[in-house]
């Protein structure tokens, strides 16, 4: 290749973002918190493939939903002609797996998943073409108690993540018969107001009129507010179920408001539907949504099985975490090891391994392109790593058989570094970390 010829850089796919090391601590904090909350409610993890048969989503989500009509990444497998799709959501895949492996043969199951989803949308803040979701699915439970448990699980998660101003909206969309009666009246109502309907609403009028209630178009709000409300069509059983959910939430001091216009985007929902919304993220206000989907397992060829679940958008929740707190500074390690000279490097490796044996995270300075090996530049890196301690080894230290240990976050800059014998470096640092600032051991205060 000639010297003048520049190789063109290849950029990532629009709307599919890299998660860079600086963001990793926030993701890890979120993932660890979610995992621990779900585990505390008895949910077990399930992992399903990213690629599923296209028919799974067409049948499960509904042919006339936005997702199936215009957002799915679908393709034909060039090897065998199969119609495949990158998953736009995970409930359909989890239900397929539960049926295929007969997971509910010995009783109900509480399951959870996490991973990337794919939708061809216009990328905007908190809404991307590859995005991540965490969700829970409770299969085989009939009562309103499981609906309430899932909602309370979310509330605990918001509390544990320190999120404020996330509010719960609740509705019941009843069963198929109730929806059909409501739908007939709804279509008739919209026909009388056809002049107000926008293009999207006109397209949905006969295929999916419920979704018109979800419109964000300001010119249609007044007309939609006057539309027949599904809550008025609920029979005794649906009403009792919805009352049951509310009763448990009230008893546990979970605030909520009933939003009669709340519908979910998928065809498989029935009875309870809910969303957690915030005003802190602009137009992308929903951070978590879910509800009951009793018909889905039968739609996939299984025996009628009740089910309920939710999915939350990870990127949106991370935006909210950033807005709600500044305590997410990346901390790369506990100890950064600075060294100069061949012999010092050998001792540095031994000390680093011993510190790791003691359960600490350690970064050992290694040679970098463009130099940066002076003590000054290494100390700058040690500071930038967020480490609590720097261990410094140079010729002087090696000659004396000691390491200089510097407390990087100490307010006392006069007395923040000490010489420590090689063999006691690990014990010294572990003591300092476990003892902390409230330590009253006189030998720890020089």
Is residue 27 a part of any domain in this protein? yes
Q: In the chain, how many domains are there?
A: 2
Same domain, 292 and 421: no
Residue 364 lies in a domain: yes
Mean per-residue pLDDT for 288-313?
91
Residues 435, 441: contact at Cβ < 8 Å?
A: yes
Dihedral over Cα of 261, 267, 271, 276: its sign: negative
**Residue 85 contacts residue 73 (beta carbons within 8 Å):** yes
Q: Is the pLDDT reported for residue 224 higher than 60?
A: yes
- Number of alpha carbons in the 13 Å side-chain half-sphere of residue 74: 16
pLDDT at residue 112 is higher than 90:
yes
- Does pLDDT of 260 surpass 90? no
| Residue 309 pLDDT greater than 90, yes or no | yes
Residues 130 and 247 in one domain: yes
Alpha-carbon distance of 364 to 394, in angstroms, equals: 14
Phi, psi of 203 (to 5 degrees): -65, -35
Number of residues written out for the chain: 446
Residue 442: pLDDT band by 50, 70, 90 thresholds? very low
Answer whether residue 390 is part of any domain.
yes
Q: Which domain covers residue 44, as residue numbers?
A: 21-174+234-324
Question: Is pTM beyond 0.75 here?
Answer: yes
Confidence of residue 154 (pLDDT cuts 50, 70, 90): very high
Angle (nearest 5°) at CA 314 between 310 and 318: 135
Mean pLDDT for 90-101 is 93
Query: Which residues of 140-215 form beta strands (DSSP E)?
Result: 167-172
Alpha helices, DSSP H, located in 256-362 = 296-299, 314-324, 342-357
C-alpha separations of 165 from 17, 158, 277, 286 in Å? 27, 10, 8, 12
Q: Please give the average per-residue pLDDT across 154-158, as a whole number.
A: 94
Supply the CATH number for residue 415's domain: 3.40.50.800
């Amino acid at each position: 290749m000639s010297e003048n010829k520049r190789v063109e850089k290849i950029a990532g796919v629009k709307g599919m973002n890299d998660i860079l090391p600086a963001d990793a601590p926030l993701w890890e904090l979120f993932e660890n918190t979610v995992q621990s909350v779900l585990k505390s409610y008895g949910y077990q993890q399930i992992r399903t493939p990213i690629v599923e048969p296209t028919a799974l989503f067409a049948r499960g989500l509904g042919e006339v939903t936005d997702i199936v009509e215009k957002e799915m990444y679908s393709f034909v497998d060039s090897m065998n002609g199969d119609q495949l799709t990158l998953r736009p959501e995970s409930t359909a895949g989890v239900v397929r797996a539960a049926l295929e492996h007969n997971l509910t043969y010995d009783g109900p199951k509480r399951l959870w998943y996490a991973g990337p989803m794919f939708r061809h949308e216009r990328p905007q803040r908190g809404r991307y073409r590859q995005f991540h979701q965490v969700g829970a699915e409770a299969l085989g439970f009939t009562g309103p108690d499981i609906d309430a448990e899932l909602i309370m699980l979310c509330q605990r998660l918001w509390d544990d993540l320190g999120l404020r101003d996330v509010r719960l909206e609740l509705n019941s969309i009843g069963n198929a018969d109730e929806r059909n009666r409501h739908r007939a009246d709804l279509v008739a109502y919209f026909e009388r107001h056809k002049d107000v309907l926008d293009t999207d609403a006109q397209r949905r009028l006969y295929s999916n009129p419920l979704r018109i209630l979800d419109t964000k178009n300001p010119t249609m709000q007044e007309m939609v507010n006057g539309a027949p409300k599904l809550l008025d069509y609920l029979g005794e059983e649906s009403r009792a179920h919805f009352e049951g959910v509310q009763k448990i939430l009230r008893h546990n001091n979970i605030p909520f408001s009933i939003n009669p216009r709340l519908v979910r985007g998928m065809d498989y929902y029935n009875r309870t539907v809910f969303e957690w919304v915030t005003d802190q993220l602009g137009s992308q206000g929903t951070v978590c949504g879910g509800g009951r989907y009793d018909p889905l397992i039968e739609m996939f060829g299984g025996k009628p099985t009740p089910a309920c679940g939710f999915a939350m958008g990870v990127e949106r929740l991370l935006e909210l975490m950033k807005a709600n707190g500044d305590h997410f500074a990346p901390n790369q390690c506990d100890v950064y090891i600075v060294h100069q000279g061949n012999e010092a490097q050998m001792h540095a490796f031994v000390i680093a391994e011993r510190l790791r044996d003691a359960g600490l995270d350690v970064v050992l300075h290694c040679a970098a392109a463009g130099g940066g090996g002076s003590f000054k530049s290494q100390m700058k890196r040690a500071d930038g790593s967020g480490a609590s301690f720097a261990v410094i080894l140079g010729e002087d230290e090696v000659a004396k058989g000691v390491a200089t240990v510097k407390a990087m976050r100490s307010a006392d800059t006069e007395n923040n570094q000490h010489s420590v014998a090689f063999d006691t470096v690990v014990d010294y640092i572990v003591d300092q970390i476990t003892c902390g600032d409230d330590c009253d051991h006189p030998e720890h205060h020089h």
